[in-house]
Amino acid sequence: MFATRKNRTERTAAEAWNHLSAAMASAGETGKDTAAKVDKKSRRLARKASKKGSYLAERASGAADEAWVRANAAAAALAGRKPGRPWGLIAGIGLLGLAAGWAAASTARAAIERQAENEQLELAETAVVVTPTYDQK
């Protein structure tokens, strides 16, 4: 039973590796072919609109880069490596939280100070001054 499972597991891993290798090769070739087509197309369109040509070249380059990144991520997953932590995103969110906390604390402090000033003004307005009277006999 375990031998069958191991063989099936090995077979599945081998098939996944073959598919991944083919996908990575295809992504590289597709990227090159797409880049060549876009380059040819961008030359032709450059006479009409240089902006359109550069836009298409950037899109093709971005698609090829995305395919390569995804293929490498799949290879790393098959090899058992875990993806790295997005430290830039974590730091950015931390700084955003720090700024929000500072703003909330400043607002709360200003509100408490205003409340204290209002209470002091109210006390001053309602204060009764009592002066002692002396009998002058």
Q: Which residue has the higher pLDDT, 71 or 108?
A: 108
Render pLDDT for 43-63 as a digit per residue (tens, 0 to 9). 665 566 555 556 666 777 777
Q: Give the global pTM.
A: 0.38
Write the Ramachandran bin of 80: left for phi over 0, alpha for psi from -120 to 50, otherwise beta: left
What confidence tens digit (pLDDT) does each residue in 5-48 have?
567 777 877 888 888 777 777 766 666 666 666 666 666 655 66
Question: Residue 44: its pLDDT value, please?
Answer: 63
Distance CA 32, CA 41 (A): 14
The structural domains of the chain, with segments of one domain joined by +, span: 1-84, 85-119
